[in-house]
Amino acid sequence: MKETLVVALGGNALIKPGEEGHIDEMRKNIHQALLNMAPVVSPDTRVIITHGNGPQVGTLLLKNDAGAQLYQTPSYPLDVLVAETQGEIGYLIESELRNILRVANPDREVVSLVTMVKVNPEDPAFSNPQKRVGKMYSKEEAAKLTREKGWIFAEEIKNGTTGYRRVVPSPEPVDIVNKQAIKSLLEKEFIIITAGGGGIPVYEKEGGLIPVEAVIDKDLASALTAELVGADRFIILTDVRYVYSNYGTPDQKPIKRMTVNEAEEMINRGEFGAGNMLPKIRAAVRFARRTGAQALITDFEGLKQGKGTVIG
């Protein structure tokens, strides 16, 4: 049987440091990222690709705000913006991958799937929202939006300026609404682009799906996808070759292999930064512990060379 892989593309696959996020920039970056993924996108593998969407959602939130202020256009909720970015980024990945496959493997099919992910409405994250989204507002603007929309804000200092940013919940993903469609497409050996940006957060109530304004961690949603399809490997592509112990110090050392227990011990010691490596380690650990399979954290060059940090 062919190996089933779930590959999570990091933000550097879409927008490089110093870039503004124009479509031409993203197309070029995605094309190169997909070329670098040649070792896993092969006739011998079944592949699911997931991706982030942070900057793209941020841009849509700014457009929402500007449209409401300048033209009184209606603002869209966060779940709809996540869906929009899934379509946008999925289209870019699919179109670039199709162009590459026309030469390398013209019979291989690709599909981009707008994906809903279930969360638990009782998740503690809903009573303690911490994920910052959108632009900074003044104290007066934040108070007005709290009155009008019920938004919650947290104080933030950036470049010496104090402002307020909206915070939303980041609940744990518990199921993929579209999992049967994903499994069916996988059986037909489609390359599937799914769970973009962590998925559109919904919960089930009285037989119906209710959207919520929240942000699901993309790495955890990717790990859940890998678990539900029975992936043989879960690959997280980021901008470093290895996970490091004592990162950022003279004693930092690359880690080539970790057991699940070793990784959890390092998490508990606070070895990993909350804003960068920690979510990836948590996702890799969750996948490896629940499935007994291995996760790999590496960069594109490491993927080509068969190098990186193996967990499991």
Active site members: 11-12, 131, 218, 280
Q: Which residues pair with 8 in a beta bridge?
A: 50, 236
For the beta carbon of residue 102, count every other beta carbon within 10 angstroms.
10
Considering only CA atoms, give the Rg of the chain: 20
Q: Residue 13 corresponds to which tokens in the numbers above?
A: 């696959």
Regarding beta strands 208-211 and 200-205, do their DSSP bridges make them parallel or antiparallel, or are they unpaired? antiparallel
Cβ neighbours of residue 261 closer than 8 Å, sequence gap 6 or more: none
Distance of alpha carbon 134 from alpha carbon 38, whole angstroms: 35
State how far the Cα of 12 lies from the Cα of 56, in Å rounded to an integer: 13
What's the rounded Cα separation, in Å, for the pair 247 and 254? 9
DSSP letters of 105-129? -TT--EEE---EEEE-TT-GGGGS-
Backbone angles phi, psi at 53, to 5 degrees: -155, 15
DSSP 173: E
Gap between the Cα atoms of 279 and 281, Å rounded? 6
Which of 47, 37, 77, 43 lies closest to 60, judged by CA? 77
Q: Which amino acid is at 255?
A: I
Residue with tokens 């099919």: 109
Q: What are φ and ψ of residue 275, in 5° steps?
A: -90, -5
Q: Which of 166, 162, 124 is nearest to 146 (CA)?
A: 166
